Amino acid sequence: MVRKNYKLKKTISVKQFIQEFGENFSQHTKDRLMELEIRCVLTRKDDPNRLDLKHVEHTKYKCAENEDSKQTEKEYAFAQFIVSEDIVYFSEKCRETNDVMQNEIVDKIYNSLSSEGIITYEDVNAKKIDESNIDFVIDSILSACPDVSQRYISIVKDMLSRSNNKF
């Protein structure tokens, strides 16, 4: 019988991702991952080592019509990272649901990565991210993932200023 971990955080920041998994990541890899911090969050289901990268504002985009012939809106997943034995991998596909669809950048990144360092993790293929390809991976994600809105920046600034005030 599998026990469910109710304490598992389902949504984490990139900084939390690095704190949780990045002890053995190179400093360059950590720095490049942190470039995603302002725009992205990571979400996971029951598996703590398999995380989908999404925009912090969870912006919805029109997508193909569903079986009811109605236009629907979904948010993009820009990557799925799998961490195994202190190594981060880029997954061949992201989890797609009624609310989430995979951005086309995922296929472009995955197909461009070297075939060395491939793992299969719960029926999902993933390729190793290392010093030789981290720049390409992060630059590609940043090219597809939109900037945050001015409204979001204002909200965050307001929250930070409130947290610095003494009550």
Segments forming the whole domain that contains residue 149: 11-164
Residue 65 resides in a domain: yes
pLDDT of 167: 47
pLDDT at position 85, please? 92
Q: What percent of the chain has pLDDT over 90?
A: 68
108: which residues sit within 8 A by CB, 6+ positions away? 140
**How many structural domains are present in the chain?**
1
- What's the mean pLDDT when you consider all of the chain? 89
Query: Does a structural domain hold residue 6?
Result: no
Residue 2 lies in a domain: no
106 pLDDT higher than 80:
yes
Structural domain contains residue 49: yes
Determine the pLDDT at residue 166.
53
* pLDDT reading at 101 higher than 90: yes
**pLDDT, average across residues 17-42:** 95
4 found inside a domain? no
Distance CA 135, CA 118 (A): 19
Residue 65 has pLDDT above 70, yes or no: no
1 belongs to a structural domain: no
Structure confidence by residue, pLDDT tens digits, 121-143: 988 999 999 999 999 999 999 99
pLDDT of 75 > 90? The answer is: yes
| Inside any domain, residue 34 | yes
**3 state DSSP class of 48:** coil
Instruction: Give the separation between CA 39 and CA 41, rounded to whole angstroms.
Output: 7
pLDDT tens profile 76-92: 999 999 999 999 999 99
Residue 113 lies in a domain: yes
Give the residue among 131, 81, 74, 139 at the shortest CA–CA distance from 105: 139
* Mean pLDDT of all residues in 100-109: 96
Q: What's the pLDDT at 63? A: 82
